[in-house]
Structure 1
Amino acid sequence: MSYKKADLYPCNPATARGQATKLGSSGDKIVYTNGRTVVIRDLKTPAVAVTYSGHIQNTTIARISPSGYYCASADITGTVRVWDVVGEDQSLKGEYKVISGAVKDLEWDGESKRIIAVGDGRDKFGHAFMMDTGSSTGEIIGHSKIINAVSIRHQRPFRAATAADDATIIFHQGAPYKYEKTIKTHTKFVQDVRYASTGDHFASVGSDAKIFIYDGKSGNTLAEVTDSPHSGTIMACSWSPDSKSIVTSSADCTVKLWDVESHKAITSWSLGSGVDNQQVGNAWTASDNIVSLSMSGTLNIFDKRVGDKPSTKLFGPQKSVTAALTLPSTSGTFLAGTADGRVLSYSDSKYAPLEGSGHAALIPGLASISSGAVYSVGFDDSLREIEGGKSFVPAICSTASQPKAVAVAGDSTVFIAEVNEVEAIRFNQKVSELKPKFSPSAVAATGSIVAVGGEDQKVHLFDWDGKSLTESGTLEGNKGTVSAIAFSPDGALLASGDSSGKIVLYDVRERKTITSRWSFHSARINSLAWTTDGQHCASGSLDTHVYVWSVQKPMRNIAIKNAGPGGVSTVFWIDDGRLASAGADACVRTWSISFPA
């Protein structure tokens, strides 16, 4: 048995209320961060993405060098890592502690040699350094509050502009960079400052909803753009590749395109209303794609020649993927439930959110049956049905307590393992409830048999007669709380994973252990998934690894190490040759698995 990497379905950028989110671009690619992960995503083929997870703490900003060979990414502790984007090794070029707090923005110079990083700090708010040695290349001074943005003129003579919460812009000469003057055009927080690619001008935007244009060499203020102004904080601005236009994204839920020479608005796009549609970041790629980021994490792609709406919207998980499954009787379509209560459907090379109001909190489980019905449970103490993999059924069924797992029997009865009981629900009506002596922690069902894992380190088997559950046996062998259980497709075998990382394989009919040697994980088993022939079982664990086990040869396995940075929450088979895993970094990774003939 062997494996190789297949497609990666990336997460969308992380956002925070009232804060700008910086997006970077390089050629046709955009680069952004979510948690500890840096994502480089090709807009022409959105499913083609590269992720980097070298940071220990949550990342805040990432930008690719003008040469295209390196990426600099920074985190909430003030650490900047410079790493290679050419090839799969992602070798580290250097790691530097630049300020004492979170880095809000960073920028490369035109020679891909120097970097300025800015943000929050105690002794200073910014630092200029060489990318290969970390040695200082000047001083970033003059601000009294957090610096939100920095931009560097890529042509000689080098110049740099920084924008901060103290409502000022500091203009620096370089290199080495040194203070030249303070620009006081804005009256509130300055959110972004960006140089044009020609270096002739730079622009600034801020919480006062104003836009200013400056001379790139002298820093003199040339004009204020007052035509058709935004009505809310402008979070970001970006220049067109030809340096003749700028695009701005605002908390008033609009994106505007401006002509720099005439200082007039060319186009205005409205994204709707409400917090989710506030625009908090943008980028303009070399292929003339305008990308604006919504507070909800949606990436809106605009064509400057077309219409008043985005030409494309890229959806994706913003929070950890906590549950997922392949839709029955479909090819390559799967659902992913997240820690913020959303369920997204992936098909036709893109994500789409389900229609209707979903859950309000983390989704611990999804379950389906061959007829196509899919059920989800959430920490909002509710059970929801998903119709056709596209929309939530309006009816909501409340659970007695917080759900931990869900399973569906062939007669469409839904079994929910909760904190203190197991509920059986059919057609949104409670049919039965069981309050066992143990605390349920996992559940699985096949035919008329229901297996309930417990914190007592045992799997309890129950017979279901359509009205009540009757205990018929106990399976012992796990060494910790039973955290995941799964029946083989024919119901003959049961795999049980626990909090210690051990998986035990049982014969259901004989009530005996087949093997207890699937024990290579070192932390809690979060998910188990069988192939359709029942000969192989995949496991995903908090230890970040995925294993594929063989029933016929229990000591043979495929080890996919570090499959999910931060831990794997769920594994599922898209088809018998393609395995998917997802977890803490909100990305879904797929693996091509080769089984021996």
Structure 2
Amino acid sequence: MSFKRSAIYAPNPATTRGVSTKLSASKEKIVYTNGKAVFIRDLDNPGLSVAYAGHLQNTTVARISPSGYYCASADISGTVRVWDTVGEDQVLKGEYKAISGRINDLEWDGESKRIIAVGDGKEKFGHAFMFDSGTSTGEIIGHSKAINAVAIRHQRPFRAATAADDSLIVFHQGAPYKYDKASAVFTIKTHTKFVQDVRFAASGDHFASVGSDGKIFVYDGKTGDTLGDFAEGHTGSIYAVSWSPDGKQISTASVDATVKLWDVETRKATSIYKLGEGVEHQQVGAVWNAPATIVSLSVSGDLNVFDPRTPARPAKTIYAPQKPVTAAAAASPGGTFFAGTADGRILAYDAGGDAACVAGGHTNLVSALAPAPGGSVFSAGYDDRVRELDGAAFAAAEFATAAQPRALAVAGDGTVFVAEAGVLEAVRANQKVAELKPAVAPSAVAAAGATVAVGFEDHKVRLYSWDGKALGEAGVLEGNKGTVSALAFSPDGALLAAGDSSGKIVLYDVKERKTVTTRWSFHTARVNALSWTADGAHCASGALDTHVYVWSVARPMKNIALRNAVPGGVSAVLWRGAHTLVGAGADAAVRVWDVAFHQSAL
């Protein structure tokens, strides 16, 4: 057996209300952070994303060097990591402690040699250094509060501008960069509130700044002289500014839920894009990543793609998880599959990897997703609701649970079984038709035809027969060494895989009520998900230990080990066709692998 990764569907950037989120661009791809990972996303092909997971703390900003060979990424601890973007190994070139606190922004110089990182440090708010050695290349001083943004002129003579919460922009000459007190413009006092972003035009002739006062200013790129402001501005804080490649236009993104396109020469707005009403439509980031593409970021995490030639509305909106994926299920093999997240959102992924946001969703963590015989999928959330999904919308079926749902399964007659804290409910047509209150709390459930398997915290699996009205106990399966955390019947219902909190998976013969094998025991932490191939010959498992394994029924000691498959832990696995495996979890990305089964080894 062998495998190769075929796609990574990246999550959308992490956002915080009232905080600017830095997006960057390189060769028509955008670069951003989510959790402890950095993602390089292709806007046209969602499967061509790149994920970097080398940080130990939550990341804040990432930018690719002008040469395109390296990426510098930073985190909340003040660490900057420089890594290779060429090839799949992502070799680390250097790791540096830039400041002793959160890094808010960083920038490369035009020669791809020097980096300036800024943020909220204890001893200093910024640091300039060589990317290959960490050697200091000047001082970033002049601010009394946290620095929010930095921009470097890419042409010689180099200049750097930093923008901070002290309402100031400091203009540094370099390299080495220094705070030139002899200059009349070493401190620029145009804004009256926090300065949120500052960017140089590609030509280096100008740079622009935006702030919480809703103002936009443009300056001379060599001298720092203020050339003027954009009188109209925005009605709320502006969190991002970005230049067009030709330097003739800028785009700005604001909490007034608008993205505006400006002509630099006239300082007038040429296009205004209104994203909607409400907090979720506030714009906290933006980048101009191609001659005809602007990308902005909503607080909700949605990426809005604009074509400057198309007025009034985005050309498209990119949806993806923003929080960890906690559950997944497919309506049919090879078709749409659903991913539920820790913030209650549910995304529907099509065959090409494009995601649509399912209307409504849950208001809290999605704890389980399960396919139904009719082609729909049921979801359960920590808002104590179970709902039926039909395509990109919720169907009419919806009901409240008696307690917090942990797992769910759907029987052949359409009855939904929900394992909750202290109770197992059976619901059909939105009506509870049966209830089981065992002495031990149920922790997992699976169904095949009229047989229901329930896993418990006492390490046992109990089988029940379902006649449409009541559950009758049909047997007890013993062999697991921890709380049963995942159950899955083979497609024909003959076999049952049971994973537990110790990382062990036991394969049972359902009819004979006996153990087939206990050798599926390579996981070292809680098994969160199990999924069978359509022919019932192989079963995939995903666990908290970050690994995915593909097991063989015919030869239990043979397996495919997808080690470190999902940084932070695997929460969901599913098969899309005979050889395509999907996995997702803590880093919010969805990964796809092509798996080959070699008969000689099986």
Q: Tell me, in whole angstroms, the C-alpha distance in 1 between the residues paired with 2:306 and 2:362.
A: 30
Q: Which amino acid aligns with 2:217?
A: F
Q: Which amino acid aligns with 2:278?
A: G
Return the alpha-carbon distance in structure 1 between the equivalents of residues 277 and 11 of structure 2: 24
Aligned-partner Cα distance in 2 for 1:218–1:354: 47
Whether 2:336 is the aligned partner of 1:333: answer: yes
1:549 aligns with 2:551: yes
Q: Which runs of 4+ in 1 moved over 6 A?
A: none
Distance in 2 (CA, whole Å) between partners of 1:413 and 1:54 is 45
What is the alpha-carbon distance in structure 1 between the residues aligned to residue 155 and residue 44 of structure 2? 29
Partner of 1:128 in structure 2?
Answer: 128
Asked whether 1:390 is paired with 2:392, we answer yes
Given the superposition, is the C-alpha separation of residues 535 and 355 from structure 1 closer, same or farther in structure 2, using an over 3 Å criterion? Answer: closer
Name the CA distance, whole Å, in 2 between partners of 1:465 and 1:189.
Answer: 66
Q: Deviations over 1:27-79 (max 9, x none)?
A: 11110000011000112323311000000111000000000000000001000
Q: What CA distance in whole angstroms lies between the structure 2 residues aligned with 1:209 and 1:460? A: 63
Counterpart in 2 of 1:3?
3
Equivalent residue letter for 2:31:
V
2:160 corresponds to: 160
Q: How far is 1:395 from its partner?
A: 4.9
Partner of 1:198: 203
- State the partner residue of 2:214: 209
> What is aligned with 1:588?
590
Deviation at 1:351, TM superposition (A): 3.7
1:183 aligns to 2:194 (yes or no): no
Aligned to 1:243: 247
* Deviation of the 1:394 alpha carbon: 4.7
Per the alignment, residue 183 of structure 2 pairs with none
Whether 1:13 and 2:13 are equivalent positions in the alignment is: yes
Q: Where does residue 413 of structure 1 map in the other structure?
A: 415
**Residue 58 of structure 1 corresponds to which residue in structure 2?**
58
SS at match of 2:366: coil
Measure how far apart 1:348 and its partner are: 5.1
Q: Is the 8 A contact 2:475 2:513 kept in 1?
A: yes
> How far is 1:354 from its partner?
4.2
Please say if 1:109 is aligned against 2:109: yes
How many Å separate the matches in 2 of 1:490 and 1:334?
21
Distance 1:144 1:395 in 2: 57
2:563 corresponding residue in structure 1:
561
Q: Distance in 2 between matches of 1:443 and 1:370?
A: 16
Matched, 1:146 2:146: yes
Query: SS where residue 280 of structure 2 aligns?
Result: helix
Deviation of the 1:312 alpha carbon: 1.4
CA deviation string 1:427-453 (max 9, x = no partner): 111111111011111000111111110
* Separation in 1, partners of 2:142, 2:589: 40
1:489 aligns with 2:491: yes
Deviations 1:283-308 (A, max 9, x none): 11134311111111111111111121
| Cα distance, 1:86 vs structure 2 | 0.4
Larger displacement relative to structure 2 (465-474 or 353-362):
353-362
Q: Aligned partners of 2:562 and 2:73: how far apart in 1?
A: 26
| In structure 2, C-alpha distance between the alignment counterparts of 1:224 and 1:230, rounded to whole Å | 12
Helix, strand or coil at the partner of 1:520: coil
Three-state SS of the structure 1 residue aligned to 2:576 is: strand
- Which residue in 2 is equivalent to 1:523? 525
Amino acid paired to 2:414:
S
Judging changes above 3 Å, is the alpha-carbon distance between structure 1 residues 557 and 441 closer, same or farther for their aligned structure 2 residues? same
CA contact (8 A) 1:212 1:223 kept: yes
Distance (whole Å) between structure 2 residues aligned to residue 386 and residue 312 of structure 1: 24
Q: Which runs of 5+ in 1 are unaligned?
A: none
Q: CA offset at residue 263 of structure 1? A: 0.9
Partner residue of 2:449? 447
Unpaired segments ≥5 residues, structure 2:
181-185
Question: One-letter code of the match for 1:297?
Answer: G
Q: Deviations over 1:108-140 (max 9, x none)?
A: 000000000001111111100000000111111
Residue of structure 1 equivalent to 2:501? 499
Out of 370, 373, 378, which is 1:370 matched to?
373
Which stretch of the first structure deviates more once superposed, 429-438 or 40-49?
Answer: 40-49
Cα offset, 1:576, TM superposition: 1.1
SS in 2 for 1:575: coil
Is contact 1:241–1:288 with CA below 8 Å preserved after alignment? no
CA distance in 1, matches of 2:256, 2:306: 17
Amino acid at match of 2:236: G
Q: Distance in 2 between matches of 1:26 and 1:426?
A: 52
Q: Deviations over 1:93-121 (max 9, x none)?
A: 00001111110000000000000000111
Match of residue 511 from structure 1: 513
Matched with 2:542 is 540
Residue 75 of structure 2 aligns with which residue?
Answer: 75
The letter of the residue matching 1:98 is A
1:307 pairs with 311, 314, 330, which one? 311
1:119 is aligned to 119
Task: Determine whether 1:480 maps to 2:478.
Answer: no
Supply the distance in 2 between the matched residues of 1:46 and 1:578 (Cα, whole angstroms). 17
**CA shift for structure 1 position 468:** 1.4
The 8 Å contact of residues 504 and 520 in structure 2, kept in 1 or not, is answered as: yes
CA distance in 2 between partners of 1:297 and 1:23 (Å): 12
1:274 equivalent in alignment to 2:285: no
The question of whether the paired residues in 2 share the 8 Å contact of 1:300 and 1:313 is answered with yes
Three-state SS of the structure 1 residue aligned to 2:17 is: coil
Q: 1:353 to 1:116 in 2, by over 3 A?
A: same
Using the TM superposition, give the Cα deviation of residue 353 of structure 1 relative to its aligned residue in structure 2, in angstroms: 3.7
1:310-349 deviation line (CA, Å, top 9, x unaligned): 0111110000111111222x63421111111011111153
Equivalent residues of 1:315, 1:350 under 8 A apart: no
**Residue deviations 1:390-444 (CA, integer Å, cap 9, x gap):** 2012553110000100100011100001111100011111111111011111000
Q: For the Cα contact (< 8 Å) 1:365–1:377, is it kept in 2? A: yes
Match of 1:433 among 432, 435, 440: 435
Q: Does the residue aligned with 1:258 lie in a helix, a strand or coil?
A: strand
Deviations 1:538-575 (CA, angstroms, capped at 9, x unpaired): 00010110000000000100011110000000000011
Superposed displacement of residue 16, structure 1: 0.5
- Of 565, 576, 579, which aligns to 1:577? 579
> In the alignment, is the contact (CA less than 8 A) between 1:354 and 1:392 conserved in 2?
no
Distance of 1:563 and 1:433 partners within structure 2? 38
Task: Determine if contact 2:334/2:351 at 8 Å carries over to the other structure.
Answer: no
Find the residue that maps to 1:276 and give its secondary structure: helix
What SS does the aligned partner of 1:273 have? coil
Q: Identity over aligned residues, as a percent?
A: 66
Q: Which moved more, 1:418-427 or 1:37-46?
A: 37-46
8 A Cα contact 1:506 1:515, kept in partner: yes
2: distance between equivalents of 1:399 and 1:170? 57
Structure-2 residue corresponding to 1:231:
235
- 1:532: Cα distance to partner? 0.8
CA distance in structure 2 between the aligned counterparts of 1:43 and 1:428, rounded to whole angstroms: 41
Determine helix, strand or coil for the equivalent of 1:474: strand
Distance in structure 2 (CA, Å) of the matches to 1:395 and 1:17: 34
State the AA in 2 paired with 1:342.
R
Map of 2:403 onto structure 1: 401
Instruction: Indicate the SS of the match to 1:307.
Output: coil
- 2:292/2:309 contact within 8 Å kept: no
Residue 492 of structure 2 aligns to a residue in which SS? Answer: coil
Contact 2:331 2:372 in 1 (8 A): no
Q: State the shift of 1:373 in Å.
A: 2.2
